A and B are shown apart, each in its own frame.
Chain A
């Protein structure tokens, strides 16, 4: 593997003293009798970009889905900006928060999916402005102006009035990124966003994400198989196996000098 620069794409380093953007506390997740995550503790600083790697079934996608409240948390707590996301402790008991409170919290979080999941019954522009207008209460003209500038940013300004089905996978994914960004999220979750794309379309999508990493200070939590991309944009890489953090550190340390035998064998299988 060629040696690369030690610092990630931007020089800005996340602050470590502030309240973590995301904090997992004793998180446990099981599907029926299968426990996927157990006693998981970690935190992500504001502005930090963290890549989760590990073999399939190691629970990395589940972590993103828990933060987006797509899965029910079966044990422990998740805090976003220091505030509980789905469950809180009351008189020593773990209680679920009202869904409205949780939904207010998730407006700070955006997610981009492997399968894009654009709404097929809306045009590209309608996909992007739906939530800013109806969730954040922005005016339509503001939302449209913002959507158009985001489309410009992802290189699809001329596709505003197209239906998603008319776009290629790479274009759909860039619209999905614009749609997530239109909510001005503090946290962006990227779940294998290039895995469903033809190889020649991957570059455009990664380019857009690199640009976001360089020009904004959005906290990112990503699951990816694009190791070069992970190495370039992330501040920290976490290796997961069996629902546990096996080792973590700056990308250079993990990729060039992994300590754990399991990490070594995983990396040699994907690189």
Chain B
């Protein structure tokens, strides 16, 4: 076992290279995913058929074909058509298109889920369609779409492993190398699991943060949230303080009423 750890230590620089490749693919892929998702998602909610129909076709196409085949297509077919992309760009492109298509559906359905009364109020105030979307509808839809986007981005992270097939050496590839050099399959793949899990957990934490921020903007919080309990404690303290003040005032009042009478009695 100690042998395994020395091998792992010596292997760290290479492992870090693999992690970097996976991180670049995940981060750039996620950014691409969200851009594509927002553009296609908005287009699918458009009242204009010339926007809606092409967007729907693109989404169905990229959802309905395999990520691996899309990747091969970008890597092996595009050069035949005279477009040469380096493997990393192919990887980012395929991930963004594939997960972007899935996420576009999330964006579309979240926008459609926003209370119709919000659209009506925006129309009643004569807000332009752009203003209506940017200021009223999208911020509310954003809070709704974050949980589903988080799931898809974690899937994207795990999906990055397919770039192994187009000569890129990512985390999965490095784990394979670690397995060969240690000869310990259990050890190598367990290290892989842990690293992927940590990265997925980081994405989840980031998305939780975004979700909290988005719901706070809507003035909604989870029931019995930390800030709710803090407010409740503060209110309780304040009430207690006012009660004390009141009883003290009453006591003083009683004393002053008694005062003259007592004096009178004294005289």
Q: Does A119 contact B (CB under 8 A)?
A: yes
A214 contacts the other chain (Cβ, under 8 Å)? no
B261 located at the interface, meaning its Cβ lies under 8 Å from any Cβ of chain A in the complex = no
Q: Are A103 and B128 in contact (CB under 8 A)?
A: yes
Within 8 A of B (CB), among A124-182: 130-131, 134-135, 163-166, 176, 179-180
Residues B135 and A163 in contact, CB atoms below 8 Å apart: no
**How far is the CB of A249 from the nearest CB of chain B, in Å?**
29
Instruction: Establish whether residues A106 and B219, one from each chain, have CB atoms under 8 Å apart when the complex forms.
Output: no
Q: Is the interface of B mostly helix, strand, loop or mixed?
A: helix
Known contacts A113-B117, A120-B140; is-contact A70 B219 (Cβ 8 Å): no
> Count of chain B residues with Cβ under 8 Å from any Cβ of A?
21
B123→A68 contact, CB < 8 A: yes
Q: Is the CB of A69 within 8 A of B118?
A: no
Report whether A130 and B124 are in contact in the complex, using a CB–CB cutoff of 8 Å. no
Q: Is B220 an interface residue (CB 8 A)?
A: yes
Check B121–A121 contact: CB distance below 8 A: no
B125, A120: Cβ atoms closer than 8 Å: no
Q: How big is chain A's contact interface, by range?
A: 20 to 34
Give residues 80-125 of B contacting A (CB, 8 Å). Answer: 115, 117-118, 120-125
A111 touches B124 (CB 8 A): yes
Complex: A81 Cα to B123 Cα, angstroms: 20
Cβ A130 vs Cβ B220 within 8 A: no
A37 within 8 A of B: no
Q: Is B233 positioned at the interface, with any CB of A under 8 Å from its CB? A: no
Which of B115, B121, B131 has most chain A Cβ within 10 Å? B121
Q: A121-B136, A121-B218, A165-B220 are in contact. Are A107 and B121 (CB under 8 A)?
A: no
Is there an interface contact between A120 and B127, defined as CB atoms closer than 8 Å?
A: no
Looking at the complex, which one of A68, A107, A120, A130 makes contact with B135 (CB distance below 8 Å)? A130
Q: Are B124 and A121 in contact (CB under 8 A)?
A: no
Q: Residue B125 contacts which of A121, A165, A183 (CB distance < 8 angstroms)?
A: A183
B117's contact among A103, A117, A164, by CB below 8 Å, is which? A117
Which residue of chain B lies nearest to A165 when distances are taken between CB atoms in the complex? Answer: B219
Tell me whether A120 and B124 are in contact in the complex, defined as CB-CB below 8 angstroms, given that A115-B117, A130-B135 are known contacts.
Answer: no
Which residues of B approach A to under 8 Å, CB–CB? Answer: 115, 117-118, 120-128, 131, 135-136, 139-140, 217-220
| 6 A-B contact pairs sorted by A residue (CB < 8 Å) | A109-B124, A115-B117, A120-B140, A121-B218, A134-B131, A183-B125
